[in-house]
Structure 1
Amino acid sequence: MVSLSAAGEIELEMIMNFSIRRVLIRRVMIRRATIKNFLALLSLVTGLTCTTWSHANAAVGDTATEASVTILSSNLANGAAVGEWGLSALVQVDGQCILFDAGRYPDTVIRNAEVLNVDLSCVTDVVLSHFHFDHTTGLIPIIENLREINPDAIRRVHVAAGFFAPRRVVSQSAIAANQMIDERSRIEAMGVEFLVHEQATEIFPAVWVSGPVERLHPETNYGTALEVSLDGEWVRDHLPESQALVIRTDQGPIVLLGCGHSGVVNALSQIQEQIQDEAIHALMGGLHLFAASDETLNWTAENLKEIGVQNLMAGHCTGIEPLMRLRAGLSLNRRTAVVGAVGSRFVLGEGIFPTAIAM
């Protein structure tokens, strides 16, 4: 069992009240990709009609033929690249260029892109996983830099509902703590539109943002220093806007998380429910497990294995030891589970290409 906070007690109640469908699936350890076969067999044995148990909300539509992810900001780097406590990645899907998060320092992403010979001038859209400064500070300098090369670069920024919610420091309630409220007008003055998503949305063919993630499992992957104002009430900041970027492919979804503040199991469960009902082909980004207990790591590994994670390239707030624990728990190896260091790449149909420091 995972230890519960006060918020976790509410989440646990939600789990208990959740449909028997998901409980049954968890108990028998059936991957979602095989649920239809299981239900068909069940209906033959029992004579029951089970159509209401299917994933009726899972999206049906485009899948990518070409996709790659290149890490531009993370904790580890080698050569002339620089590491930082931050995250950013270039996502390329069938000719579209998307920047996922923007790093902590103003020049990190730009410098690392130059070192890696990565052209960012094609980027039209940015997806921000959440408001924290280590994922957003680089945005304005990146826009300024790319506009010198391509005046049409970065015209849209995708965030989830709650991104611009007021924050304050718990111990000093007079101190505002969401820098993106002030930055918004400055960014919009540069001709950039913020698109605030309240649910899973396809932003390009085969490319989705998850929108806010429902907290069905008691994962508390966030701190205690801040409060957020929601519906006029100050509550512990659980990062309600924490969202994922998802690429639908014929091999299963490719998922990027910024910090996984919603909980990686929560995020992947919702993605399979709403976007693509298949085993997770690749999971990348930050999972916020660097300080997780052995109990939490074991629980996470067990659930990720059940969900069906096939490739893992996690960095930033994941932690190296937790990544190794997940590698073992998921029965992955040095080719399919590596540290997501700066310069590491994932290519659809080819797999992970780690940098030397991540091997």
Structure 2
Amino acid sequence: MSMKSSTTVTILMDNQAVPGLVSEWGFAAAIRQDGRLWLWDTGQSAAFLANAALLGIAPQEADGLALSHGHYDHTGGLTALLDAGYHGPVFAHPDFVRQRFNITRTPIRSIGIPCVAPQFTAVKQTCALTKSMTMVTGIPRLPGNFQATKGFFYDKEGNTPDPVEDDAFLVLDTLQGIVVLLGCCHSGLMNSLLCMKDRLGIDTVHSIIGGLHLFNADRTALEETVEACRMFRIHQLVPGHCTGPDAPAQMQAMLENCETIPMKAGLSLDYPA
């Protein structure tokens, strides 16, 4: 019989927030599992620390930090976290430190990590962070499948495309079932879940939480994302950040037997033992 502890995922930063908390274009979450506290991303600024304090969470005391990818809206609070006294390990794909640009806007702007990267443990494919939490990155992109990488380059001139190979997600093993915690899902949800199935043998997911990067995607991308939810028999969908304002309701209308909960800073999701 499993002796796993309950799991709680608390959203520390998102584009939306419950009354009394701050919002920004960014994402950060806290995970309590197996008696330990882990962080997933650090938002765009130090604001996630203020939200955490109001929620009774001390990120500086976390046992570990994993980063979904090296974009400013997921790593911008790193310096503030370290200054607050965080001394735990940092896990990220080695490409998260690369300089990168979005050339679809004028002026062209840097969208990479906005600070000096701390020492970190490089994860190129799959890494068990704890007995119940696995980080998956280096996700293959199957031909024809949706991926959110348009306009991303490693240089301002647009000569070297950035496939956001450092895009990562967490797989949380709970007694309610598998919980997938995304960052921005630049790989596309279908590619991400198929990668999880190939590497970890998982074909059923209880909950998906995080950004799906559908805010500027076409109908085909939306339908593919819904199909991925159906294939893996998702029971709970918690979309936010880069998912966009319209996609959650559209997905809810297309999915049966799936609860959709809008993500926002301050939201706490419990998966009890």
Verify same fold: TM over 0.5.
yes
How many residues align? The count is 267
State the match for 1:89 in structure 2. 29
Q: Are 1:306 and 2:218 matched, yes or no?
A: no
Residue 187 of structure 2 aligns to a residue whose secondary structure is coil
| Mapping of residues 111-122 of structure 1, within 5 Å | 111-122=50-61
Query: Can you list the C-alpha shifts for 1:166-209, whole angstroms capped at 9, x where unaligned?
Result: 4356599xx9946548612xx3xxxxx30111111101111110
Q: 1:171 to 1:287 in 2, by over 3 A?
A: closer
| Mapping of residues 311-330 of structure 1, within 5 Å | 311-330=236-255
Unaligned runs of 5+ in 1: 1-61, 148-152, 188-192, 351-359
Native 8 Å contact 1:207 1:248 kept in 2: yes
Residue 162 of structure 1 aligns to a residue whose secondary structure is helix
Residue of 183, 186, 210 corresponding to 1:261 = 186
Q: 1:154 to 1:288 in 2, by over 3 A?
A: farther
| Mapping of residues 336-351 of structure 1, within 5 Å | 336-349=259-272
Q: CA deviation at 1:63?
A: 8.3
Residue 116 of structure 2 aligns to a residue whose secondary structure is helix
Letter in 2 for 1:221: A
Q: Distance in 1 between the 2:162 and 2:215 partners?
A: 19
Q: CA deviation at 1:344?
A: 0.9
Q: 1:323 to 1:154 in 2, by over 3 A?
A: farther
Residue 246 of structure 2 aligns to a residue whose secondary structure is helix
State the match for 1:183 in structure 2. 116
Q: Are 1:129 and 2:68 matched, yes or no?
A: yes
Q: Alignment RMSD, CA only? A: 2.5
Q: 1:126 to 1:142 in 2, by over 3 A?
A: same
Q: 1:235 to 1:64 in 2, by over 3 A?
A: farther
Q: Distance in 2 between the 1:344 and 1:176 partners?
A: 31
Q: CA deviation at 1:251?
A: 3.8
Residue 202 of structure 1 aligns to a residue whose secondary structure is strand
Q: Distance in 2 between the 1:282 and 1:161 partners?
A: 28
Letter in 1 for 2:52: A
Q: Distance in 1 between the 2:253 and 2:73 partners?
A: 29
Q: Are 1:144 and 2:77 matched, yes or no?
A: no
State the match for 2:146 in structure 1. 219
Q: Distance in 1 between the 2:248 and 2:77 partners?
A: 26
Q: Distance in 1 between the 2:27 and 2:75 partners?
A: 9
TM-score (norm 1): 0.68
Residue 254 of structure 1 aligns to a residue whose secondary structure is strand
Q: Distance in 2 between the 1:221 and 1:246 partners?
A: 21
Q: Distance in 2 between the 1:125 and 1:234 partners?
A: 36
Unaligned runs of 5+ in 2: none
TM-score (norm 2): 0.88
Letter in 1 for 2:237: L
Query: Can you list the C-alpha shifts for 1:132-187, whole angstroms capped at 9, x where unaligned?
Result: 10000111102222x2xxxxx44211111422334356599xx9946548612xx3
State the match for 1:237 in structure 2. 162
State the match for 2:92 in structure 1. 159
State the match for 1:208 in structure 2. 134
Q: CA deviation at 1:250?
A: 4.0
Residue of 194, 205, 229 corresponding to 1:280 = 205
Query: Can you list the C-alpha shifts for 1:288-307, whole angstroms capped at 9, x where unaligned?
Result: 01122223212221222112
Residue 209 of structure 2 aligns to a residue whose secondary structure is strand
Query: Can you list the C-alpha shifts for 1:102-134, whole angstroms capped at 9, x where unaligned?
Result: 00122x111111222223343121111111100
Which has more helix, going by share of residues? 1
Letter in 1 for 2:11: I
Q: Distance in 1 between the 2:98 and 2:3 partners?
A: 33
Q: 1:259 to 1:270 in 2, by over 3 A?
A: same
Displaced runs of 4 or more, over 6 A: none
Which has more strand, going by share of residues? 2
Task: Using the aligned pairs only, state the percent identity.
Answer: 27
Q: Distance in 1 between the 2:19 and 2:102 partners?
A: 38
State the match for 1:297 in structure 2. 222
Letter in 1 for 2:41: D
Q: Distance in 2 between the 1:272 and 1:171 partners?
A: 34
Residue of 69, 75, 79 corresponding to 2:15 = 75
